[in-house]
Amino acid sequence: MFKVGGKMFVLVDIYQAERITLKSSPSEVEELTERYEWITRGFHMNKTHWLTLDLSSLHASQSMVENLMLTSYNLVYQGLTKKTRQELENR
C-alpha cells in the first residue's frame, strides 16, 4: 500500500503482485473498464472510484500505468486538507 498524507493511492495485491488498484475519476473508471480488458473496477474497493490493473497482461502499457498511478496520487493529494498539503510541501 502506498499513501500520501495518510491516504491510500496505490494498493498492491500481496498474493498477486501483478495486480494493483488505483484511485480514479468515475468517468475514467467507466471509460477504461469498457475499453481495456486488463482494467477492471477496483477489487474490494468502491467500484466508482477505483480501478484494478492486471499488469501481467501483454496489453498493459508501462506509460499508461505510470500515468494512471500519477493521476491516482494527484486525486488523493488534492483531496487532502490544506493543512496536510502544506505540511507535506514544507518537508
Q: Which helix (H) or strand (E) holds 67?
A: helix 62-78
Q: Per-residue pLDDT for 16 more than 90?
A: no
Q: Which domains does the chain have, with CATH numbers?
A: 2-89 (3.90.1150.30)
pTM over 0.85: yes
What is the reported pLDDT for 43?
Answer: 83
HSE-CB at 46 with a 13 A cutoff on CA atoms is: 8
Per the CB < 8 A criterion, the answer to whether 18 and 91 are in contact is no
Q: What is the pLDDT of residue 68?
A: 97
pLDDT for 17: 86
The grid coordinates listed for 37 are 480488458
How confident is the model at residue 30, as a pLDDT?
Answer: 96
pLDDT per residue as tens digits for the range 46-85: 899 999 999 998 888 899 999 999 999 999 999 999 999 9
Cβ atoms of 42 and 49 within 8 Å: the answer is yes
